[in-house]
């Protein structure tokens, strides 16, 4: 069965580009446009990995991350934070909340993001 | 507990500390001082005029007049500072907007182009590939410009964030040389690297140090006309590690050397050869080196090349 990726991102263009590219790599990709529905979806579908933006409507990425790590049923799902925030405080906060990796979108090529996903999902 | 740490806790002044504004520039603090000054002026005027005249009307008039003058002058000054704060807030807002609203579509563009060029949705022809590359290069330039502007804004606000770790500068230098080698090859430039064996570590921010090397080497390659060589060296000198980046390029004219670390500055001869560039690189490089308690300088002669040196203290 294909590995399942959940992409929580409020920007449809990014969802489409990265989502499709990951589908071409053989993954099944589901997406959510805000933090709240993202969290609900994680609980329901239990993906193999979560790609999480930080600036999100309804509930921000930090809130989602915290909720994932506090729920014993989903706390082991790896989370890659994919954002354009880059202050050391944000990076530290996300990592201390339990994010596996932190990627700044603008600084990564598509191949590099896919490579990271493959590394973490393995 | 010091006076300023007490002030930091007071809600009245919190905003100023958040935006990195010193207490003596903080409008709410100045307003408080102005009030106290006004009271003092009123009382002293009352006593002084009482001493010189026994007519209460004149005493009252003098007191009101002096306090009015103090108030007008003071509030003009406070308003000026208020504008300063507003400008600072705008900069913070710019950082937020630029990092999110500008970089997000630029990232989407980059990934979409990567995806198309990758051939997953049909192999592009050679000509199409060429155009895709043009779009990718332009997008990369825009991302670089936004990143540079963000860094400049952070530097000017005095909060360039550094995450200090022990860093081996020779390892970073070799990394960047590897990254820039396709660009160097295309420009017909060879890069030679030399370093002391067992170079001691420095305490620095690795990502920011990468920016320093990238900017200096990128310039060295970019401003070499035709065939040439770039020499990069890292050595221990006393309590410092000194790095030099030498090129045989267009050099910096003597009369413009003093402006070289100013932001947006680009020398005349460089403009003749290379139009791509923002003039922000060396400004950022200097700010990073300074923030690492280091120093940066250069030697250059027009048409002969330039050597940039910087040194960073060895980690104790």
Structural tokens at position A120: 């973490």
Cα atoms in the 13 Å half-sphere on the side-chain side of B73: 10
Does residue B135 share a domain with residue B3? yes
Does residue B304 share a domain with residue B186? yes
| pLDDT number for residue A64 | 92
pLDDT: is B27 or A62 the higher one? Answer: A62
Residue from B18, B95, B104, B211 to probe the interface with A (highest A Cβ count within 10 Å):
B104
- The closest CB to that of B100, out of A55, A89, A109, belongs to A55
- Return the closest-CA partner of residue A113 out of B120, B278, B112: B112
Residue B182 in 3-state DSSP?
helix
Q: Which residues of A touch B (CB under 8 A)?
A: 11, 13-14, 17-18, 20-21, 24, 55, 84-89, 105-107, 109-111, 113
Task: Return the axis-axis angle of helices B206-222 and B169-186, rounded to nearest 10°.
Answer: 30
Q: Which residues pair with B193 in a beta bridge?
A: B232
Superfamily of segment(s) A4-121:
Response regulator (3.40.50.2300)
A103: which chain B residues are within 8 Å (Cβ-Cβ)?
A: none
- The closest CB to that of B161, out of A84, A88, A107, belongs to A88
Structural domain boundaries in chain A? 4-121
- The closest CB to that of B103, out of A87, A88, A106, belongs to A106
> CB of B159 within 8 A of CB of B20?
yes
Does residue B183 share a domain with residue B122? no
Compute the count of residue pairs across chains A and B with CB atoms less than 8 Å apart: 59
Decide if pLDDT at B79 tops 90: no
| pLDDT number for residue A122 | 79
- Return the closest-CA partner of residue B300 out of B243, B237, B240, B258: B258
CA-atom Rg of chain B in angstroms: 28
- The closest CB to that of B115, out of A21, A55, A105, belongs to A21
Inter-chain CB proximity B103 and A20 less than 8 Å: no
- Return the closest-CA partner of residue A10 out of A44, A43, A59: A59
Does residue B106 share a domain with residue B20? yes
Q: By percentage, how much of chain A surpasses pLDDT 90?
A: 49
**What tens digit of pLDDT does each residue of B35-67 get?**
888 888 888 888 888 888 888 888 888 888 888
* Shortest Cα distance, chain A CAs vs residue B109, angstroms: 9
Instruction: Count how many domains chain B has.
Output: 2
Does residue B106 share a domain with residue B180? no
Q: Which helix (H) or strand (E) holds B291?
A: helix B281-291
Does residue B244 share a domain with residue B141? no
**What tens digit of pLDDT does each residue of B287-298 get?**
999 988 899 999
Q: What is the 3 state secondary structure string of chain A?
A: CCCEEEEECCCHHHHHHHHHHHHHCCCEEEEECCHHHHHHHHHHHCCCEEEECCCCCCCCHHHHHHHHHHCCCCCCCCEEEEECCCCHHHHHHHHHCCCCEEEEHHHCCHHHHHHHHHHHHC
- The closest CB to that of A106, out of B112, B121, B143, belongs to B143
* Shortest Cα distance, chain B CAs vs residue A72, angstroms: 32
**What tens digit of pLDDT does each residue of B185-202 get?**
888 899 999 988 888 999
A18: which chain B residues are within 8 Å (Cβ-Cβ)?
A: 111
Does residue B148 share a domain with residue B3? yes
Does residue B216 share a domain with residue B136? no
| pLDDT number for residue B37 | 85
Phi, psi for B182 (deg, rounded to 5): -60, -40
d(CA A79, CA A99): 5
| pLDDT number for residue B173 | 92
d(CA B41, CA A53): 57
Does residue B93 share a domain with residue B10? yes
**What tens digit of pLDDT does each residue of B115-127 get?**
988 888 888 898 9
Q: Which domain holds residue B88?
A: 1-159
* Shortest Cα distance, chain A CAs vs residue B99, angstroms: 6
Does residue B118 share a domain with residue B18? yes
> CB of A51 within 8 A of CB of A18?
yes
Inter-chain CB proximity A105 and B107 less than 8 Å: yes
Inter-chain CB proximity A85 and B112 less than 8 Å: no
Which residue in chain B is spatially nearest to A10 when comparing CA positions?
Answer: B104
Q: Which of B131, B159, B187 is the last residue of a domain?
A: B159
Decide if pLDDT at B8 tops 70: no
DSSP B24: G
> CB of B145 within 8 A of CB of B185?
no
**What tens digit of pLDDT does each residue of A29-73 get?**
999 999 999 999 998 999 999 999 998 888 889 999 999 999 888
> CB of B274 within 8 A of CB of B223?
yes
- Return the closest-CA partner of residue A106 out of B285, B131, B140: B140
Inter-chain CB proximity A110 and B118 less than 8 Å: yes
Does residue B215 share a domain with residue B192? yes
Decide if pLDDT at B19 tops 70: no
d(CA B195, CA B181): 18
Q: What does the mean pLDDT of chain A come to?
A: 90
* Shortest Cα distance, chain B CAs vs residue A24, angstroms: 7
Does residue B307 share a domain with residue B232? yes
Residue B286 belongs to domain with CATH number = 3.30.565.10
- The closest CB to that of B115, out of A55, A86, A110, belongs to A110
Q: Can you spell out the DSSP letters for B212-264?
A: HHHHHHHHHHHT--SSEEEEEEEEEETTEEEEEEEE-SS---GGGGGGTTSTT
Sheet bearing B295-301, strands edge to edge: B189-195, B228-237, B240-247, B305-313, B295-301
């Amino acid at each position: 069965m294909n590995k399942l990726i959940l992409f929580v991102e409020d920007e449809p263009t990014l969802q489409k580009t990265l989502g499709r590219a990951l589908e071409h790599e053989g993954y099944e990709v589901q997406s959510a446009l805000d933090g709240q529905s993202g969290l609900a979806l994680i609980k329901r579908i239990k993906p193999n990995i979560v790609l999480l933006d930080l600036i999100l409507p309804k509930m921000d990425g930090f809130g989602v991350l915290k909720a994932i790590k506090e729920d014993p049923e989903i706390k082991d799902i790896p989370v890659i934070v994919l954002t354009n925030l880059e202050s050391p405080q944000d990076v530290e906060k996300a990592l201390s909340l339990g994010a596996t990796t932190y990627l700044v979108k603008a600084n990564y090529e598509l191949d590099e993001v896919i490579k990271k996903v493959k590394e973490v999902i393995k | 507990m010091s006076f300023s740490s007490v002030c930091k806790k007071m809600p009245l002044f919190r905003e100023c500390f958040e935006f990195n504004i010193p207490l003596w520039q903080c409008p709410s603090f100045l307003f408080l001082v102005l009030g106290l000054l006004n009271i003092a002026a009123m009382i002293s005027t009352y006593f002084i005029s009482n001493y010189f005249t026994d007519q209460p009307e004149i005493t009252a008039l003098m007191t009101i007049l002096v306090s009015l003058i103090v108030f007008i002058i003071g509030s003009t000054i406070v308003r000026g500072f208020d504008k300063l704060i507003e400008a600072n807030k705008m900069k913070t807002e710019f950082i937020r907007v630029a990092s999110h609203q500008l970089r997000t579509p630029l990232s989407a563009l980059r990934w979409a182009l990567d995806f198309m060029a990758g051939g997953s949705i049909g192999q592009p022809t050679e000509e199409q590939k060429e155009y895709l590359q043009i779009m990718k290069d332009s997008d990369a330039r825009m991302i670089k410009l936004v990143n540079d502007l963000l860094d400049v804004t952070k530097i000017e606000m005095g909060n360039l964030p550094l995450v200090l770790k022990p860093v081996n500068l020779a390892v970073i230098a070799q990394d960047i040389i590897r990254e820039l080698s396709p660009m160097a090859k295309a420009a017909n430039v060879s890069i030679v690297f030399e370093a002391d064996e067992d170079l001691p570590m420095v305490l620095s921010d690795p990502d920011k140090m990468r920016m320093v090397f990238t900017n200096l080497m990128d310039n060295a390659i970019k401003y070499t006309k035709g065939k040439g060589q770039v020499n990069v060296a890292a050595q221990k000198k006393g309590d410092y590690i000194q790095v030099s980046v030498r090129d045989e390029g267009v050099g910096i004219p003597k009369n413009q050397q003093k402006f070289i670390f100013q932001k947006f500055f680009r020398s005349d001869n460089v403009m003749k050869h290379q139009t791509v560039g923002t003039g922000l690189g060396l400004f950022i490089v200097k700010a990073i080196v300074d923030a690492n308690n280091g120093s940066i300088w250069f030697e250059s002669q027009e048409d002969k090349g330039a050597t940039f040196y910087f040194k960073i203290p060895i980690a104790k």
